[in-house]
Structure 1
Amino acid sequence: MFLVDLLFPNRCLECNRIIPSEEVICELCFDQINFTHHHISESNLLTEKCRLLFPIENAFSLMQFEEESTSQKIIHQLKYGSREKIGKIIANWTVEKLDFSDSKPNLLVTVPLHPKKQKERGYNQLHLFGETLSKELKIPIDHHLIKRNFYKKAQAKKSKEQRIFNENLFSVTKNISNQHILLIDDVFTTGNTMSAIAWEILKAGDNKVSVLVMAMD
Structure 2
Amino acid sequence: MILDILFPNRCLGCNSIISADLLICELCFSQIDFIHSGYSDDNFIKEKCRLLFPVENTFALMQFGKENLSRKIIHELKYKSREIAGEILAQWTSERLDFGNQKPDLLVPVPLHPKKLKERGYNQLHLFTEKISEFYNIPFDHNLIRRNHYSKAQALKNRQRRLETENTFSITQTITGKNILLIDDVFTTGNTVASIAWEILKAGNNKINVLVMAMDA
Query: The TM-score by the shorter chain falls in which range?
Result: over 0.9
Q: Indicate yes or no: 2:99 matched with 1:100.
A: yes
Correspondences of 1:1-217 after superposition (within 5 Å): 2-152=1-151, 165-217=164-216
- Report the Cα offset of residue 3 of structure 1: 2.3
- Report the Cα offset of residue 42 of structure 1: 3.8
Size of the aligned set, in residue pairs, is 213
Q: Which amino acid aligns with 2:182?
A: L
The alignment partner of 2:65 has SS state of: coil
CA distance in 2, matches of 1:118, 1:134: 21
CA distance in 1, matches of 2:112, 2:56: 25
Judge conservation of contact 1:41–1:47 (CA < 8 Å) in 2.
no
Normalising by the residue count of structure 1, what TM-score does the alignment of the two structures yield? 0.94
Judge conservation of contact 1:42–1:57 (CA < 8 Å) in 2.
no
CA distance in 1, matches of 2:33, 2:87: 19
CA distance in 1, matches of 2:101, 2:130: 22
Relative to structure 1, is the Cα distance of residues 33 and 206 closer, same or farther in structure 2, using a 3 angstrom cutoff?
Answer: same
Cα deviation code 1:23-73 (max 9, x no counterpart): 000000000000011210141111111111100000000000000110000
Q: Mind listing any 5+ residue stretches in structure 1 that lack a counterpart?
A: none
Cα deviation code 1:109-166 (max 9, x no counterpart): 000010001111111100101111011110001000000000135956968xx76x52
Relative to structure 1, is the Cα distance of residues 31 and 174 closer, same or farther in structure 2, using a 3 angstrom cutoff?
Answer: same
Percent sequence identity over matched residues?
Answer: 62
- Report the Cα offset of residue 80 of structure 1: 0.2
Q: Which amino acid aligns with 2:83?
A: E
Q: Which amino acid aligns with 1:136?
A: F
CA distance in 2, matches of 1:80, 1:156: 19
CA distance in 1, matches of 2:158, 2:52: 21
Judge conservation of contact 1:177–1:204 (CA < 8 Å) in 2.
yes
Q: Which amino acid aligns with 1:32?
A: Q
Relative to structure 1, is the Cα distance of residues 156 and 210 closer, same or farther in structure 2, using a 3 angstrom cutoff?
Answer: same
More off after superposition, 69-78 vs 38-47: 38-47
Relative to structure 1, is the Cα distance of residues 157 and 9 closer, same or farther in structure 2, using a 3 angstrom cutoff?
Answer: closer
Q: Which amino acid aligns with 1:122?
A: G
Q: Mind listing any 5+ residue stretches in structure 2 that lack a counterpart?
A: none
